[in-house]
Amino acid sequence: MSSKQIPTLSRRELLAMIGTVAGSAVSYRAMASMGLIEESTYNGPVKLEGSPKGASVLILGSGIAGMVSAMELRNAGYKVKVLEYNNRAGGRNWSIRGGDVYTELGGFTQKCEFDKGLYINPGPWRLPYNHHGILDYCRRLGVALEPFVQLNYNAYVHNTQAFDGKPQRYREIAADWSGQVAELFSKVTKQKKLDELMSAHDQEALLESLRSWGALDRNLKYVPGRESSNRRGYEKPPGGGLDAAPIYSKDFIDLPDILHSGLWSAIGTAEAFYHQTSIFQPVGGMGRIGEAFGRELADVIQYNSKVVKIHQDNDKVAVTYVDPKTGGNPRTVTADYCLCTIPLSVLSQIELNVSPQMQAAINAVPYSASVKVGLQFKRRFWEQDEHIYGGITYTDMPIGNIGYPNTDYFKSGKGVVLGAYVHGRNAFEWTAMSPAERVRTAVELGSKIHPQYKDEFENGVAVGWHRVPWTLGCAGSWSEEARAQHYENLCQIDNRFLVAGEHASYIPAWQEGAVTSAIDAITRLHHKVVNS
């Protein structure tokens, strides 16, 4: 180890580095280990017992938090009305399909040209098994789910500065890294370097576990043979008949090459708590959840209603709104209480009379940048040519990763790939591009991994979340300091006004955060109403 002094990292710097290397989910788990975020607290349908005494609640926004709140409050006997900016329910729970038209800030309008049945999820795309709340609402609303493939060993990991820019199969990097690390560790153990830390019996057990984990031979070596080929693949796989014997893989990737390539950063991503299988997706697109909520709440949601002013007094809350497309004369609706699920990035720009503490909390939370690009291709070449069925390819290029469809396997005809999922600084640069430029760039960069891109590409759509007029960003991005100072003030009931959403949770950017935030908010509101 170097004798040079190792610089001290702040928690914020450490989390930023983790996020850069291993992605947002790993960063999330690191935050959880520091006590900065909590697991889902959902433990079954909320029970709002006691009479609401005829109270009315106006809910702003029909995203997941707004619709969970509306459904449960309505079922508990409240008079409920929802004002929604868009002409659909769901908010960021959204799927873009062929024929859909979307206009972002700046005036760029896209008409999706995907074939029937194909879609892209510009917002959330996964439902982890441990997000019990959102999964329970899918069950209650009859939303059919199917598996989402997080880890595909036959997909790629890619670094433009390593291996001459050629993508490597995930399984080969994972196997060679694990095998050689296991061999190194077994050498240390056999040399009695762990005598002060472990008993002889424990060291023997450790060696056996290293042999199994690293696919080592009987001499604890990672060498060409049955064990290693059974992990990284064969030069010639076993078959039947004459000349059927396998040829074991010989071309291992040396550990220093793996370390210097940075491709090890993709190993373990699928082991993050919210990426562990099973993971699900709604059949037909994530937007099926919003659509199901929309049908359930058809009698209480008013669409095309852009909130421009919120005013409360001791007796009621008055909300003024306009049609976001046609404008016209402002209209006002009143209720006893107002539950606001509008993203803070938008709410901070709306005239609102709340306490200085809550206003400061609303203003304190910036929103992260993210861009997604969906690409339709003439054929499913990733399956037909490269045998990749679902899952994700990781790259250091600005596109971030490539997500393959987890449905319609072996289907002839066209398919849609998530051609870019961009975060961080790159996302700000991509947001500044026109949608057409984002699509072109995704095709250009993606072709460095899949040369078929340019010949097979047909059309695409691109969503930059800071240009989405009803969110102005991807998700609330709390700093440790801001959360300590403002989070509780944000979640308090301010006279007759309160908020809910992923931004009012310790599960940021996940739909589960919206669900648990909504349940907490309406439970506290109901307690206030019943005891008033």
> Which three-class secondary structure state does DSSP give residue 322?
strand
CB 406 within 8 A of CB 449: no
Which residues neighbour 84 within 8 Å (Cβ) at sequence distance 6 or greater? Answer: 61, 62, 66, 301, 302, 303, 304, 305
Q: What pLDDT sits at residue 39?
A: 59
What's 3-28 look like in SS3? CCCCCCCCHHHHHHHHHHHHCHHHHH
Q: What pLDDT sits at residue 30?
A: 46
**DSSP state, 396?**
S
Residue 506 to residue 499: CA distance in whole angstroms: 14
Which residues neighbour 345 within 8 Å (Cβ) at sequence distance 6 or greater? Answer: 365, 366, 367, 471, 472, 473, 476
Which residues neighbour 58 within 8 Å (Cβ) at sequence distance 6 or greater? Answer: 81, 82, 83, 317, 319, 333, 334, 335, 337, 338, 339
| Degrees to nearest 5, angle at CA 453 with 449 and 105 | 100
**DSSP state, 378?**
S
For 456-503, give the DSSP string: HEEEEEEEEGGG-TTTSSSSB---HHHHHHHHHHHHS-BTTEEE-SGG
Q: Which of 173, 154, 158 is nearest to 396 (CA)?
A: 158
Alpha-carbon distances of 435 from 94, 457, 465, rounded to whole Å: 18, 16, 12
Residue 301 to residue 87: CA distance in whole angstroms: 10
> Which three-class secondary structure state does DSSP give residue 134?
helix
**Element counts in the chain: helices (H) and strands (E):** 17, 23
Residue 38 to residue 508: CA distance in whole angstroms: 10
Strand partners, 306: 322
Residue carrying structure tokens 């959403």 = 501
CB 493 within 8 A of CB 528: yes
What's 92-132 look like in SS3? CCCCEECCCEEECCCCCEEECCCCCCCEECCCCCCEECCCH
Alpha-carbon distances of 140 from 48, 65, 158, 374, 408, rounded to whole Å: 17, 16, 41, 30, 26
CB 58 within 8 A of CB 335: yes
For 300-315, give the DSSP string: TEE-S-EEEEEEE-SS
- Asked whether the bond before 40 is cis by omega within 30 degrees of 0, the reply is no
Q: Quick one: the chain helix, strand, coil %, rounded to 5?
A: 35, 20, 45
CB 522 within 8 A of CB 499: no
Task: Give the end-to-end CA distance of the chain in Å, rounded to a whole number.
Answer: 65
Residue 272 to residue 286: CA distance in whole angstroms: 22
Taken in order of first residue, the domains within the chain and their CATH numbers are 56-90+288-365+479-530 (3.50.50.60), 96-140+149-154+368-467 (3.90.660.10), 169-261 (1.20.1440.240)
Tokens of 239: 């078959």
Q: What pLDDT sits at residue 269?
A: 85
Q: What pLDDT sits at residue 13?
A: 41
Q: Which of 43, 91, 72 is nearest to 524 (CA)?
A: 72
User: Tens place of pLDDT for every residue, the chain, 532 residues?
Assistant: 333 333 343 444 444 444 444 444 444 444 443 434 445 789 888 999 999 999 999 999 999 999 999 999 999 999 999 999 999 999 999 999 999 999 999 999 999 999 999 999 999 999 999 999 999 999 999 999 999 999 999 999 999 999 999 999 999 999 999 999 999 999 999 999 999 899 999 999 999 999 999 999 999 999 999 999 999 999 999 999 999 999 999 999 999 999 999 999 888 888 888 888 999 999 999 999 999 999 999 999 999 999 999 999 999 999 999 999 998 899 999 999 999 999 999 999 999 999 999 999 999 999 999 999 999 999 999 999 999 999 999 999 999 999 999 999 999 999 999 999 999 999 999 999 999 999 999 999 999 999 999 999 999 999 999 999 999 999 999 999 999 999 999 999 999 999 999 999 999 999 999 999 999 999 999 999 999 8
Strand partners, 56: 79
> Which three-class secondary structure state does DSSP give residue 288?
helix
Q: What pLDDT sits at residue 22?
A: 41
Q: What pLDDT sits at residue 273?
A: 84
CB 395 within 8 A of CB 449: yes
Q: What pLDDT sits at residue 343?
A: 98
